[in-house]
Amino acid sequence: MKFFNREKELNYLKTYCQLEPNSILFVYGPKSSGKTTVMLRVIEELSERGDLVFFYYDLRKYATPTKEEFLEIFFEKGDKKYLLNKLEINLKIFKLGVEENFDFNNLSLNDIFAKINESINAVVKDRKKPVLIIDELQKLKNIYFNGGKSLLNELFNLFVHLTKVRHLCHVVCLTSDTLFIEEIYQNSTLENTSKYYLIDWLKKEDIKKILKEEGFNDKEINYCLNYLSLPYEIVDLIENKKLGLSVEETIRQWINIEKDRLVYLLKSNKERKENLLKVLSKFKEKIKVNIDDFEDEIFEDVKFLIKNEILFYDVVNGIIKPTSIKKWYAIKEVI
> In this structure, what CATH number is given to the domain that contains residue 324?
1.10.10.10
Q: What is residue 312's predicted lDDT score, i.e. its pLDDT?
A: 97
To the nearest whole percent, how much of the chain has pLDDT over 70?
99
Residues 176 and 248 in one domain: no
Does any domain span residue 142?
yes
> Which among 177, 158, 166 has a CA at the least distance from the CA of 315?
177
**Residues 272, 325, 294: CA angle, nearest 5 degrees:** 40
Confidence at residue 3, expressed as pLDDT on a 0 to 100 scale: 66
pLDDT value of position 1: 46
Q: Residue 324 domain-assigned?
A: yes
Domain final position from 169, 198, 227: 198
Tell me: do 193 and 323 sit in the same domain: no
Do 170 and 221 sit in the same domain of this protein? Answer: no
Residue 233 belongs to a domain: yes
pLDDT given at position 2: 60
Distance CA 307, CA 178 (A): 8
Of 148, 183, 198, which residue constitutes the final position of a domain? 198
Q: Are residues 182 and 250 in the same domain?
A: no
**Mean pLDDT (whole number) for 79-85:** 95
Report yes or no: 178 and 10 within 8 Å, Cβ to Cβ: no
Angle CA 123–128–131, to nearest 5:
75
Check whether residue 128 and residue 218 sit in a common domain: no
pLDDT reported for residue 184: 83
Same domain, 174 and 259: no
Q: pLDDT tens for residues 309-328?
A: 999 999 999 999 999 999 99
Mean pLDDT confidence for 229-241: 95
Q: Verify that 56 and 173 share a domain, yes or no.
A: yes
Q: Are residues 268 and 328 in the same domain?
A: yes
Whether residue 2 lies inside any domain: the answer is no
Q: What is the mean pLDDT of residues 82-103?
A: 90
- Does 1 map to a domain? no
Q: Which residue has the higher pLDDT, 278 or 61?
A: 278
CA-CA distance, 16 to 129, in Å (whole number)? 12
**Backbone phi, psi, residue 194, to 5°:** -130, 150
How far apart, in whole angstroms, are the C-alpha atoms of residue 238 and residue 215?
9
- Report yes or no on 211 lying in a domain: yes
Is residue 214 located within the same domain as residue 132?
A: no
* The pLDDT value given to residue 90: 79
Whether residue 134 is found in the same domain as residue 220: no
The answer to whether residue 108 sits within a structural domain is: yes
With 70 as the cut, is the pLDDT of residue 87 above it? yes
Q: State the total domains in the chain.
A: 2
Tell how strand 319-322 and strand 194-198 pair up. unpaired
- What does the pLDDT average to over 230-246? 96
* Per-residue pLDDT tens digits for 131-188: 999 999 999 999 998 778 899 999 999 999 999 999 999 999 999 998 998 888 788 7
pLDDT > 60? residue 261: yes
Looking at the fold, whether 13 and 146 belong to one and the same domain comes out as yes
Residue 209 has pLDDT above 70, yes or no: yes
- Tell whether the model's pLDDT for residue 4 goes beyond 80: no
User: The domain spanning residue 92 has which CATH number?
Assistant: 3.40.50.300
Mean pLDDT rounded to a whole number for the chain: 94
Task: Determine, yes or no, domain membership for 330.
Answer: yes
Global pTM reads 0.94
Examine the fold and report which residue of 198, 223, 247 is the final residue of a domain before the chain moves on. Answer: 198
What pLDDT score does 107 carry?
Answer: 84
Could you list the residue range(s) of the whole structural domain that residue 276 is in?
Answer: 204-334
- 157 and 12 in a single domain? The answer is yes
